Chains A and B, each alone.
Chain A
Amino acid sequence: MKSPESAKPGMRRLVSRSAFALLSLSAATVLAGCASATQSTPTASPSAAFKPAAQTAGSQITVWADSTRLPAVQQYQKSHPDVKMNIVTYDGSANGSTYLQTKVQLFDRTGNGWPDVVFGSPTDVTWASQPTSPSATAFAAPLDANLVPQQTLDGFAKGSLAPCQFNGHTYCLRNDIAQVVLWYNKTLMDKFGYQVPTTWEQYEALGEQVAKEHPGYLVGAVGDTNSQESYFWSSQCPAFQLEDPATLKVDLTDGNCTRMATLLDKLIAAKAVTTQGFFSQGFAKDPGGSKVVMANGPSWYGQYLFNAAFKVPAGQIAAAAPLTWEGETTAATGNVGGGVWMVSSHSKNLKASTDLATWLTTSNDFQANAPTYPAYVPAAKAWLANPANSKYFATDISAVFEQAADLVWTGWSNTKFSDATAWSNVVLPALTQGKTLTETLPQWQTAITDEAKSVGYTIATK
């Protein structure tokens, strides 16, 4: 029997010999000058080369929807029993999730498994409209290429399909727009004897007044993953401004950014604006939705936040037009989300897939009762006409919604990365620790530019 001890020097020799071999090998490679480690970027225009997969009429289609949109898909299944559907629920790319992108990357590698129709965020379209690797096909099918009639595409609200467009083609259908308006609790405002502000300056003054006269009541919250879109987008801050498809302007030192940071800092210090999020755990319980006097936020706050989450009784909540800055004639506003439906370019049943995506976005059967404001104009009219949508509110919101839908500032672009990541894990933790927004802006700037560079953007700061 060989003694284990005698094996040791042999092992040592082997280890040192292979280490030496590895070392010399790596030295050799360094000397040889190797190929670049950068990822190859697909150059060919993907849309021109769109070739549908072999079609199988009547084959099953797989649909990925978030829980909010699930009833819509189920409603379609009920009214179209002959269409074979496999319905899957997922997070819907909310809160900066990259689940869909992750899965598609994997499917592109394995060559199968893609869902046929997916609900996603506008950010998803920026990567789905381009191939993930030179050998892959872009995930989203160009819907204007003989799939959806131009007449239907023309029916979407002005600019609402902009996030879907790339290289002259349309890769998604917009489900809803989320124009930011000023929500307020009319009952509370009347009780306190306050006037609804029309400018940010009035809003700031009123916030300080609320803090003084009714401590505990709130005029806003900045702690959500999308609060930056409600405030900084509305303020026309160039944080995510694409100058061309490869150049991103990030300039948080711009006056449009600092004015909003200063305003919010004052209100946060006065405790009229909370650093918690409306959607953070426990907010509905403490301080509770009944303490919210005003909230600058998207059109879906009405039904989704005040009605469903805060359970504020009907007849209290109202919406006012987006706030302007003193000296500025035209208001601009932000946009928070607004989902899209995409059809997979790999679908074996493009006909059924396109039909579903079209129905989901344009049919009054669903959209008139949708939890969000439809992007398709005729559906939006039906939505506003639906008593269920209007009777909850204290005033008629249609004029405000229609006005705000046209005011969304176009300088805040959809980028290949989510605008929520840096805000959530750099700015919000700093605010929680008691730092001001103004002193956090440089950190936010760095986080955005780092992230943008990592996905291949060139950064412009001026």
Chain B
Amino acid sequence: MTALNTGHEAVSSVTPVRRRATTRRRAGLAGYLFVSGYAILLLAFGIFPTVYAFFLALTNDRGQFTGLNQFIKVAQDYRFAPAFLNISLYLVMWLLSVVVLTVVVAIVLRSRMRPRLSAIFRFLYYLPGALAGVASVLVWLFMLDPAVSPVSWLLRSLGFADFAAVLSPGDLPVILVLIAFWTGAGGWIVVMYGALNNIPDEVLEAARTDGAGPWKTAWHIQIPMIRKWIAYMAILAFAGGTQLFVEPQMLQTASLGRVSPTWSPNQLAYVYAFQHGDFNGAAAISIFLLALGLICAALLVTRSDLFKVDES
């Protein structure tokens, strides 16, 4: 069971904490050097832009302090509410599908399938994730256009006569969830599978001895034990989801404008900055998104005890 043990060490939060404490005393400089690369990049491309966005959102283009007026201005924009409504609809569908489906698939792969077959499936699921965002949208543009799609019979039988019909406003959240799930879920299935690997066999054996079937084991043992990873996935999927930009932007161009250019809040910020030249308003929208992401993360972190370190 060596493979299982190393996996256990790598992901479990118990051992690293203890080791970090001892190494810090021994070689402090090396530690700082190792984190410095990331820290500098984080400062330059994460912290500084955030601070700058706050500065922009609280001032106008003449550099005067505006208080909350920028936020009020963008919130009153006629495109603000539809964009946030669109993204909320998308997020609900995307989070539900990514959380439920990846966990179910990972459990099936882990417990109900021969290891060789499971490895092949994990590879197949992961494959679309290797395509960059734009490329995956292009794949779906072909899939969804009845004129060229390999499954055009399916599209036509669903009542979609042409590409324009497929892209009707009501279908957009579904289409975007499809694209996001197709590209993103594979990676998460692999991660969830790794998390399930962490559960000691003794626990599962004990469950089996007590008479738990596979679904009972999944529901009462496996899912509770990988709860933290599920929360972690939900936070990252939520943060990624709020930033939706490339997919609707590409659909907008490819459909020759049939999709609104301000479908998602990020696109609205983009229009603010680069069409209206209003970088302050754009920054205010980005702060709204940041707040949304932070609130959701805070909820999930406190509910799931993600940062709680359990001593063994």
Cross-chain contact of B261 among A4, A421, A433 (Cβ < 8 A)? A421
| Measured CA separation A197–B15 after assembly (Å) | 85
| Measured CA separation A1–B165 after assembly (Å) | 63
Select the stretch in A75-83, A96-104, A255-263 that faces chain B: A96-104
Question: Is B147 engaged at the interface, CB distance under 8 Å to the other chain?
Answer: yes
- Please tell me if the beta carbons of B274 and A276 are within 8 angstroms of each other in the complex: no
B47-92: which residues lie under 8 A (CB-CB) from chain A? Answer: 59-62, 64-70, 72-73, 77-79
| Measured CA separation A40–B279 after assembly (Å) | 12
- Please tell me if the beta carbons of B61 and A133 are within 8 angstroms of each other in the complex: yes
| Measured CA separation A432–B162 after assembly (Å) | 9
Chain B residue nearest to A91 in the complex (CB): B253
| Measured CA separation A39–B64 after assembly (Å) | 11
Question: Is A280 engaged at the interface, CB distance under 8 Å to the other chain?
Answer: yes
- Please tell me if the beta carbons of B258 and A132 are within 8 angstroms of each other in the complex: no
Question: Is A429 engaged at the interface, CB distance under 8 Å to the other chain?
Answer: yes
Question: Is A145 engaged at the interface, CB distance under 8 Å to the other chain?
Answer: no
Q: How far is the CB of B140 from chain A (nearest CB, A)?
A: 14
- Please tell me if the beta carbons of B275 and A32 are within 8 angstroms of each other in the complex: no
Q: How far is the CB of B105 from chain A (nearest CB, A)?
A: 33
- Please tell me if the beta carbons of B258 and A35 are within 8 angstroms of each other in the complex: no
Cross-chain contact of A432 among B66, B168, B274, B275 (Cβ < 8 A)? B168
Q: When A35-B62, A105-B277 are in contact, do A424 and B257 touch as well, CB less than 8 Å?
A: yes
Q: When A35-B60, A37-B70 are in contact, do A105 and B273 touch as well, CB less than 8 Å?
A: yes
| Measured CA separation A189–B6 after assembly (Å) | 79
Question: Is A455 engaged at the interface, CB distance under 8 Å to the other chain?
Answer: yes
Question: Is A110 engaged at the interface, CB distance under 8 Å to the other chain?
Answer: no
| Measured CA separation A326–B201 after assembly (Å) | 87
Select the stretch in A47-55, A114-122, A281-289 that faces chain B: A281-289
Number of residue pairs spanning A and B whose beta carbons lie under 8 angstroms apart: 133
Cross-chain contact of B66 among A36, A224, A275, A286 (Cβ < 8 A)? A36
- Please tell me if the beta carbons of A450 and B78 are within 8 angstroms of each other in the complex: yes
Question: Is B276 engaged at the interface, CB distance under 8 Å to the other chain?
Answer: yes
Q: When A30-B67, A34-B67, A37-B69 are in contact, do A282 and B147 touch as well, CB less than 8 Å?
A: yes
- Please tell me if the beta carbons of B256 and A277 are within 8 angstroms of each other in the complex: yes
- Please tell me if the beta carbons of A29 and B60 are within 8 angstroms of each other in the complex: no
How many residues on the A side are at the interface (Cβ–Cβ under 8 A)? 51
Question: Is A45 engaged at the interface, CB distance under 8 Å to the other chain?
Answer: no
- Please tell me if the beta carbons of B256 and A225 are within 8 angstroms of each other in the complex: yes
B251-296: which residues lie under 8 A (CB-CB) from chain A? Answer: 252-253, 256-261, 271, 273-281
| Measured CA separation A97–B168 after assembly (Å) | 20
CB neighbours (8 Å) of A40 from chain B are 60-62
Q: When A281-B147, A450-B78 are in contact, do A35 and B65 touch as well, CB less than 8 Å?
A: yes
- A-facing mask of B298-312, CB < 8 A → 1, else 0? 000000000111000
| Measured CA separation A134–B62 after assembly (Å) | 9
- Please tell me if the beta carbons of B148 and A37 are within 8 angstroms of each other in the complex: no
- B-facing mask of A222-254, CB < 8 A → 1, else 0? 011100000000000000000000000000000
Cross-chain contact of A102 among B69, B257, B275 (Cβ < 8 A)? B275
CB neighbours (8 Å) of A424 from chain B are 256-258
Question: Is B115 engaged at the interface, CB distance under 8 Å to the other chain?
Answer: no
- Please tell me if the beta carbons of B164 and A39 are within 8 angstroms of each other in the complex: no
Question: Is A441 engaged at the interface, CB distance under 8 Å to the other chain?
Answer: no
Cross-chain contact of A36 among B69, B77, B256 (Cβ < 8 A)? B69
Q: How far is the CB of B75 from chain A (nearest CB, A)?
A: 11
| Measured CA separation A29–B280 after assembly (Å) | 17
| Measured CA separation A433–B166 after assembly (Å) | 10
Q: How far is the CB of B46 from chain A (nearest CB, A)?
A: 19
- Please tell me if the beta carbons of A30 and B68 are within 8 angstroms of each other in the complex: yes
A-B contact pairs, 27 of them (CB 8 A): A1-B21, A5-B308, A30-B68, A35-B64, A35-B69, A36-B69, A37-B281, A39-B60, A39-B278, A39-B281, A98-B261, A101-B274, A105-B274, A106-B274, A134-B62, A275-B164, A280-B163, A280-B256, A281-B147, A281-B162, A282-B148, A282-B162, A425-B257, A429-B168, A429-B169, A432-B164, A432-B168
What is A's interface to B at a CB cutoff of 8 Å? 1, 4-5, 26, 29-30, 32, 34-40, 95-98, 101-102, 105-106, 108-109, 132-134, 223-225, 275-277, 279-282, 285-286, 420-421, 424-425, 428-429, 432-433, 450, 453-455
Given contacts A34-B64, A34-B68, A277-B164, 15 further A-B contacts (CB under 8 A): A1-B21, A4-B17, A26-B68, A34-B65, A35-B66, A36-B66, A37-B66, A37-B70, A105-B274, A223-B164, A282-B147, A286-B147, A425-B257, A428-B164, A454-B276
When A and B form their complex, which 8 residue pairs have the shortest distance between CB atoms, in order from nearest? A282-B147, A424-B257, A34-B67, A29-B67, A35-B64, A37-B69, A102-B274, A37-B73
